[in-house]
Amino acid sequence: MNDLIGAFEASVVGRSCRVTRREVDWTFDLGNGTIIAVGCHWRLISTQGIALTDEDDGHQFGLLKPVDAEAQANELLAGATVSIVAVDRLTSDLSLRFSNELRLDLLNNSSGYEGWQCSFAHGESRSSIVASSGGGLAFF
């Protein structure tokens, strides 16, 4: 297990990230076929605090127009690359730190549902990692 987590963490360092809002979830595309499908809560943290979350999407908050979290996330992450990756072995939360000092947190928040999943290349093969219910990790 730790070997695959380490391979996953190493495979995304140096990658840029493109965010897409789908009908029922979000994707974080790290290139080279590495796409994280996210059904749990996520947030972008800046040096000043919480910059954006999935929960902000579509809310107006007294602004001129509702928050477009997809567009704002892509604007915040533009030109940045992943510098540090950490998978919490107890909760399966995922944290990606970027070169522009932003941090993306995926918060696996269910004891019954999968929070996120990702297929990634390592060596000559591909593997998948799934943040499973209750904080576990599954590999394929």
pLDDT at 45: 99
Summarize pLDDT for 79-88 with one digit per residue, the tens: 999 999 999 9
Please provide the DSSP assignment of 72-124 as one string: HHHHHHTT--EEEEEE-TTT--EEEEETTS-EEEEE---SSS--EEEEEEETT
Enumerate residues 6+ apart whose C-beta is below 8 A from 123: 7
Summarize pLDDT for 97-122 with one digit per residue, the tens: 999 999 999 999 999 999 999 999 88
Which segments in the chain show pLDDT lower than 70? Answer: 1-2
Enumerate residues 6+ apart whose C-beta is below 8 A from 13: 82, 83, 84, 85
The whole-angstrom separation of Cα 54 and Cα 72 is: 11
pLDDT at 105: 99
pLDDT at 1: 58
Count other C-beta atoms under 10 Å from residue 15's C-beta.
19
pLDDT at 136: 92
| pTM, entire model | 0.93
